[in-house]
A and B are shown apart, each in its own frame.
Chain A
Amino acid sequence: MVFNTGAALLDAIVLAVVCKEEEGTYGYKITQDVRQAIDVSESTLYPVLRRLQKDDCLEVYDVECGGRNRRYYKITEKGTAQLKLYRTEWVNYSSKITMLFSGGETA
């Protein structure tokens, strides 16, 4: 893709992906889900998840699964609020760009 995804947008996408799973989700699945939208490499998301966790936007818990622990990520209240902000801001941003591209009415 021509356009790079910045840190804020990546945060927003990850939050959105995790938000969809009420029971929480895990690293590999998050990566696969994010990849449906943008082309991220396997190593991209760990720092993002770790940062969101430290910022209390995500909480983690371990679930025993097939004889080993699987780390699950779940969105927190703060994360939900953050995502809400990202969403509004994105609508704002993208609609302006779309308007510009389509050559629509210039204010």
Chain B
Amino acid sequence: MSREEFMRQLERLLKDVAEEERKEALSYYQSYFEDAGVENEARILRELESPEKVAATIKTDLGMETGPESIKTDLGMETDTGVFTEHGFEDSRFEQKHPISIRKPAGGQQSGAGTGKEQHSGDSSRAESSQSQFSGDTYDYEEQESSGYEEGKDFTYGEQRSSGYGEGKGFTYEEQKSSYSNSGDGRSTYSGRSGMEILLIIAIAVITSPIWLGVITGLGGSVFGMAIAAVCTAGALYISGGVLFGIGIGQFITGNLAVGFALTGVGLLLLALAILATVLCVWVCGKLVPWICGVISRLWRSIFSGKEQRA
């Protein structure tokens, strides 16, 4: 990514930030690149990682929510997820390598920064106020220190554990698979149905034939009937719509304006209904019928699949 590309993306990502803040941030990074010089450009781009991360850092400091909601709920975190460290704002949402970094105390840095800010602003008596600022900040500092450290530890642990676990799982799975194929030597029970089963199915089918034949015929008949009815309705509507429209035009010519308007109006309405019916026809013929055929054929195949495979 080039520097221009980076700045463009950053600008786009900061669209929902207040105008003043956006300008500040953009001009900061603009001049940062300029001061660093062309020779350092690649290194800085690499270290900034992505416009998304920079934008998230800026937004988080402004107390804006960032990141998609779903990820947050996935991790089970209601509030903020980031921690300020010397590596900048570290957000578990960016570290996708280890999805189990949930052991972060909620209300860590961001709330700390927020209170710090509140304490900073609007103090007049300096000595006392800055003392309180300070204690507030120290508290945050301590909390972070511990949480950050724990997080670091978690990270290595997590990775080791997960990789070990993965291996273990893979191994047992392999074992299971081989034992399964060994036990099923020769006549595997899962490759098809036995002759007895097929016979049983046929016998049941024959015995219950009055029921399912009736059901299938009924269903097929009603679908067929619906299709025919839809076609007929559409046709009738077209015809009557056209005729009424024609008569209406005739009435116009003979000078009977009111009747003419009424008839052409009704005619057009009927034509509209006809088009609707056509759409319905197309849908029934194009979707419903093939679907029913598919269901029936799948049913058929599932009953006799075993037999076919064996033969």
Chain A residues proximal to chain B, CB less than 8 Å: 1-11, 26-29, 31, 38-44, 46-47, 49-51, 54-57, 68-71, 78, 81-82, 85-86, 89, 93
Contact of A81 among B35, B117, B130, B140 (CB under 8 A): B130
Is residue B28 within 8 Å, beta carbon to beta carbon, of the partner chain? yes
A47 to B58, CA, bound (A): 6
Report the Cα distance A89→B83, complex, angstroms: 23
A28:B117 contact, CB within 8 angstroms: no
Contacts A11-B137, A89-B138; A46 near B57 (Cβ below 8 A): yes
Q: Which of B21, B53, B85, B130 contacts A85 (CB 8 A)?
A: B130
* B57–A28 CB distance below 8 A: no
Q: Could you tell me which B residues sit within 8 Å of A by CB distance? A: 21, 24-25, 27-29, 31-32, 34-36, 44, 47-49, 53-54, 57-58, 60-61, 83-89, 109, 112-113, 116-117, 120-121, 126, 130-131, 133-134, 137-138, 140-142, 144-145, 148-149, 152
Q: Determine if B31 and A8 form an interchain contact, defined as CB atoms under 8 angstroms apart.
A: no
State the Cβ distance, B130 to closest chain A Cβ, in Å.
5
Instruction: Kindly report which residue of chain B lies nearest to residue A55, judged by CB atoms.
Output: B120
B35 touches A28 (CB 8 A): yes
Contact indicator B130/A82 (Cβ below 8 Å):
yes
Nearest-neighbour CB distance to chain A for B146, whole angstroms, equals 9
User: In the complex, what distance in Å separates the CA atom of A83 from the CA atom of B167?
Assistant: 52
Residue with the highest number of chain A CB atoms closer than 10 Å, among B109, B131, B137: B137
Residues of A within 8 A of B57 (CB): 43-44, 46-47
Residues of A within 8 A of B88 (CB): 40-41, 43-44
Q: Tally the A-B contacts, defined by beta carbons under 8 Å.
A: 134
Q: Which of A26, A54, A78 contacts B35 (CB 8 A)?
A: A26
Specify the main secondary structure of chain B where it touches its partner.
helix
Question: By the criterion CB–CB under 8 Å, are A51 and B61 in contact?
Answer: yes
Contact among B61, B130, B133, B140 with A6 in the assembled complex (CB-CB below 8 Å): B140
- List the 9 shortest-distance A-B pairs measured between CB atoms, nearest first: A6-B141, A4-B148, A8-B137, A28-B35, A47-B61, A44-B88, A55-B120, A5-B86, A4-B85
Residues of chain A contacted by B152 (CB below 8 angstroms): 2, 4
Across the interface, do A8 and B53 meet the contact criterion of CB distance under 8 Å? no
B89 A47 Cβ-Cβ under 8 A: yes
A43 and B117 in contact, given A6-B141, A71-B28, A81-B130 (Cβ under 8 angstroms): no
B86-A70 in contact (CB<8A): no
Q: Is the pair A86, B109 in contact by a Cβ cutoff of 8 Å? A: no
Set B28, B31, B83, B89: member contacting A44, Cβ < 8 A: B89
CB distance from B123 to the nearest CB of A (A): 9
Given A6-B145, A81-B126, A85-B134, also A54-B121 (CB < 8 A): yes
Q: Which B residues touch A85, using CB under 8 A?
A: 130-131, 133-134
Report yes or no: B84 in contact with A10, Cβ–Cβ below 8 A: yes
Closest to B87 in A: A41
Give CA–CA (A46, B89) in the complex, Å.
Answer: 11
Using known A-B contacts A39-B87, A85-B134, determine if residue A4 contacts B32 with beta carbons closer than 8 Å. no
User: With A8-B140, A44-B88, A57-B120 given, can you name 9 additional A-B contacts, CB distance below 8 Å?
Assistant: A4-B145, A5-B86, A7-B113, A28-B36, A41-B49, A43-B53, A43-B54, A46-B54, A51-B117
Residue of B whose beta carbon sits closest to that of A9: B141
Contact A7 B112 (CB under 8 A): yes
How far apart are the CA atoms of A8 and B140 in the complex, in Å?
8
Q: Give Cα A70–Cα B142 distance, bound, in whole angstroms.
A: 36
Given the complex, which residues of A lie within 8 Å of B89, measured CB to CB? 43-44, 47
Asked if A40 meets B34 with Cβ closer than 8 Å, knowing A7-B137, A46-B25, the reply is: no
